[in-house]
């Protein structure tokens, strides 16, 4: 079933028992416990990506992971709890993939092009979960905040890059670098959402070149 479908009706989630909570709070997990917990998270992501958030049940996750529901509740309170942790992992991974050390003496338009490629590839690898985080964020403040954290990380990094180009006389110094990063970042983010989550087909090279050109012209690079 499409990750974009589903209904909230009938989504009853059993709670964690007192004994399961007691075991969870007793102290650090054993190596075997950590491995099992990681496996549940890995499988849960796959199930969420296949079924969507609303149509996924704890029963689906434990069946795919080959564990009992009691085992699941020894690590997580609910479907919502495991989704939140999977989402956190996705955001942290993507933020790491977007990070790069500043390399001097690169043509400014080429620098922008490389940044576009990094963002596109990071989004492509995590598109379904990012789309689900946006969906769940419409009714869960935690997910909305997590999605904004990822966006603000990209905006902050972009704003610093624009400000550096302004200081070097490459970009238009009369423009607000933070607002530019917000507006241009929304362009890149929404393009990737439509492309990878909603499924509209684009030519990769054409998208990279278009985003690069609009970004370079938007910040005022001469001759771009």
| CATH code for position 151 | 1.10.357.10
| Other beta carbons less than 10 A from residue 19's beta carbon | 11
State the Cα–Cα distance between residues 26 and 6, nearest whole angstrom. Answer: 37
Return the pLDDT at 27.
46
Residues 98 and 154 in one domain: yes
State the Cα–Cα distance between residues 137 and 96, nearest whole angstrom. Answer: 22
Residue 30 lies in domain:
18-77
Closest CA to 5 of 50, 41, 54, 45: 54
CA distances from 88 to 81, 121, 142, 143, 157 (A): 11, 19, 10, 9, 20
Q: Is the pLDDT of residue 194 over 90?
A: yes
Per residue in 40-70, pLDDT tens? 999 999 999 999 999 999 999 999 999 999 9
Return the pLDDT at 15.
45
Residues 71 and 89 in one domain: no
Phi-psi domain of 194 (left: phi exceeds 0; alpha: psi -120 through 50; beta: other): alpha
Return the pLDDT at 22.
56
How many separate domains does the chain show? 2
Q: Is the pLDDT of residue 12 over 60?
A: no
State the Cα–Cα distance between residues 137 and 123, nearest whole angstrom. Answer: 17
What pTM was computed for the model? 0.80
149 Cβ contact list (under 8 Å, min separation 6): 91
User: Is 44 a domain residue?
Assistant: yes
Mean pLDDT (whole number) for 182-189? 96
């Amino acid at each position: 079933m499409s990750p974009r479908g589903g209904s909230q009706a009938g989504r009853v989630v059993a709670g964690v028992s007192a004994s399961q909570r007691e075991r969870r709070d007793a102290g650090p997990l054993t190596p075997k416990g950590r491995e099992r917990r990681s496996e549940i998270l890995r499988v849960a992501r796959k199930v969420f990506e296949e079924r969507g958030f609303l149509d996924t049940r704890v029963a689906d996750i434990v069946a795919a992971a080959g564990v009992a529901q009691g085992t699941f509740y020894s690590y997580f309170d609910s479907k919502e709890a495991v989704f939140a942790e999977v989402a956190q992992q996705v955001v942290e991974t993507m933020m790491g993939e977007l990070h790069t050390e500043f390399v001097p003496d690169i043509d400014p338009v080429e620098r922008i092009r490389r940044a576009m490629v990094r963002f596109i590839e990071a989004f492509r690898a995590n598109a379904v979960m990012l789309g689900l985080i946006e969906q769940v964020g419409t009714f869960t403040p935690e997910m909305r905040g997590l999605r904004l954290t990822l966006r603000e990380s990209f905006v902050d990094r972009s704003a610093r890059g624009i400000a550096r180009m302004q200081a070097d006389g490459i970009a238009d110094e009369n423009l607000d670098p933070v607002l530019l990063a917000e507006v241009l970042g929304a362009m890149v983010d929404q393009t990737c959402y439509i492309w990878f989550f909603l499924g509209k087909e684009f030519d990769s090279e054409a998208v990279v070149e278009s985003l690069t050109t609009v970004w370079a012209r938007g910040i005022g690079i001469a001759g771009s």
